Structure 1
Amino acid sequence: MPVDKTTTPPRPNLIDFHGVSMVHYFTDNWEKIQNFKARPDDILIATYPKAGTTWVSYILDLLYFSQTQPDRQTSTPLNDRVPFLEIMIPNQSSGTDLADSLDTCPRLIKTHLPVQLIPKSFWEQKCRVVYVARNAKDNAVSYFHFDRMTCVQPEPGDWNSFLQRFIDGKMVFGSWFDHVTGWWEKKHSHPKIHYMFFEDMVEDTGREINKLCSFLGLTSTTKEKDQINNLVV
């Protein structure tokens, strides 16, 4: 079926935003993002794009709410359960509005922002952060295919030109290298950051879930671990 280009919005252009390459879908709501009021029990899921965000969001939602809200995973879309803080798409609820409307405790909130652009209230409230890093090669390949299918990202072009932009850091949310190293350095001054690696999760999911639960002060049931192990990455 041909795509109706009259209803498809034009792809955005990259802009330089506080030294980071961005598109307007993630900066149009900037005042509300920076003034977002985090709560001490909020958990922030932070990643570079295409580094396991959805996987870890699902895992955390399952660990916290599967016993008290067993139908939650099938009754409510994940994007409503774990809002994307900085997103602002016309005719849709903004990420900040969705996060403010959450009635769960804790609130699970995801972001792709580099560490220097995180709203200060998350640090002031000493919130826990789960950061996931993925190796550059696989991250770049996944990002390329994602950009081919979504209209909220710039046109990816061919693989060679895309890879060069990835190497140069001319990607939405900036440089992969700056992102993963910025968060790595932050964890030394902010003890409530749990830094995970996508590859470790693939290698031994159970081991990494145990580490995550230890960080969060949770215990996981055999049923929850089976559900997590059955996820398609």
Structure 2
Amino acid sequence: MASTKMDLPPRPTLFDFHGVSMVKYFTDNWDNVQSFKARPDDILIATYPKAGTTWVSYILDLLYFDDTISDCRSSVPLQERVPFLEISAPHRPKGKDLADQLPTAPRLIKTHLPVQFVPKSFWEQRSKIVYVARNAKDTAVSYFHFGRMNHVHPETGDWSCFLQNFIKGNMVFGSWYQHVNAWWDKKQTYSNIHYMFYEDLIQDSGREIDRLCSFLGLSPTTEQKEHVRAKATFDNMKQNKITNFSTLPLMNQSVSSFYRKGAVGDWKNHFTVAQNEQFDEDYKSKMKNPGLCFRTEI
């Protein structure tokens, strides 16, 4: 194990990138990412980190390709089937190159980019976009544990330090508040965005899969939908080497599992009363849109 650790790159540092906190692993390939040539049938899965990206990616992969997966593709990990557009990290191919080489139609591509950073071709081609949002408190907790084990992110510090940085927007991919609000605003002018909530998926994944199919113009049978729902449960995805990121050396899952809890309301095990009061006060000042409502428990 020691030799593997020595091969890991040093943790990156945050810097301001056009008004958004970023690290080099998501900006090093910037010009190529920005000139990415989207297609009309591409589907972009857009999220702030730790909002259910992998879950929705897998649901879409199953809906489109589960019946057609050849033996050679059945062992391809999800991060290659649904590439992470902007990533440019050591020991792995660039996400943009993987997206260019996808043999599937539609191509499923994921991003954490704030809406203003999405390559122009997605808008020009009228590509469909599935945006998934999760409540801020659970996102902060999940992001904290993710940062502890993921070497393409900066050192997290302790929980209270991390939470203050989250409130200030000093996170990779910037402020949660700006991210979810700007994508919500974009939905009002760009009709090909389907805006989903993690909490709704947890509460009734069958209903959310129905809504997703309706947006995408898919009409799977009841049996097919049930099959997708059953394969894409938290426990199944945690055990499945295709979806559990167990092959990525940059993630040390002995520190924290990529699939930790997948629950709504785990923030209550982390926030102190004082932290919660401060967070709620700050939240009210930043979340003014009455149409955009999050649930912190279900």
Quickly name the TM-score band, shorter chain normalised: over 0.9
Structure number with greater CO (CA < 8 Å, separation at least 6) is: 1
Distance 1:141 1:104 in 2: 35
Matched position secondary structure for 1:99: helix
The amino acid across from 1:208 in the alignment is: E
Q: Measure how far apart 1:205 and its partner are.
A: 0.6
Q: Which residue of 1 aligns with 2:206?
A: 206
Q: 1:154 to 1:108 in 2, by over 3 A?
A: same
Q: Measure how far apart 1:169 and its partner are.
A: 0.4
Q: Which residue of 2 aligns with 1:225?
A: 226
C-alpha contact (below 8 Å) 1:82/1:108 kept by paired residues: yes
Distance 1:77 1:21 in 2: 29
The amino acid across from 2:160 in the alignment is: N
Q: Max radius of gyration: which structure? A: 2
Q: Which residue of 2 aligns with 1:146?
A: 146
C-alpha contact (below 8 Å) 1:44/1:109 kept by paired residues: yes
The amino acid across from 2:227 in the alignment is: D
Identity between Structure 1 and Structure 2 (%): 65
Distance 1:179 1:7 in 2: 33
The alignment yields a C-alpha RMSD, in angstroms, of 1.5
Matched position secondary structure for 1:92: coil
Q: 1:124 to 1:143 in 2, by over 3 A?
A: same
Q: 1:5 to 1:77 in 2, by over 3 A?
A: closer
Q: Which residue of 2 aligns with 1:116?
A: 116
Q: Which residue of 1 aligns with 2:130?
A: 130
Distance 1:84 1:134 in 2: 19
Q: 1:141 to 1:41 in 2, by over 3 A?
A: same
Matched position secondary structure for 1:16: strand
Matched position secondary structure for 2:46: strand
Query: If the length of structure 1 is used for normalisation, what is the TM-score?
Result: 0.95
Distance 1:134 1:72 in 2: 34
Q: Measure how far apart 1:73 and its partner are.
A: 7.0
Q: Which residue of 2 aligns with 1:177?
A: 177
Q: Which residue of 2 aligns with 1:48?
A: 48
Unaligned runs of 5+ in 1: none
Number of residues paired by the alignment?
A: 233
The amino acid across from 2:158 in the alignment is: D
C-alpha contact (below 8 Å) 1:45/1:129 kept by paired residues: yes
Distance 2:98 2:71 in 1: 20
C-alpha contact (below 8 Å) 1:62/1:224 kept by paired residues: no
Q: Which residue of 2 aligns with 1:85?
A: 85
Distance 1:220 1:169 in 2: 40
Following superposition, which runs of at least 4 residues in structure 1 exceed 4 angstroms of deviation? Answer: 1-5, 70-73
Q: Measure how far apart 1:223 and its partner are.
A: 3.6
C-alpha contact (below 8 Å) 1:205/1:229 kept by paired residues: no
The amino acid across from 2:57 in the alignment is: S
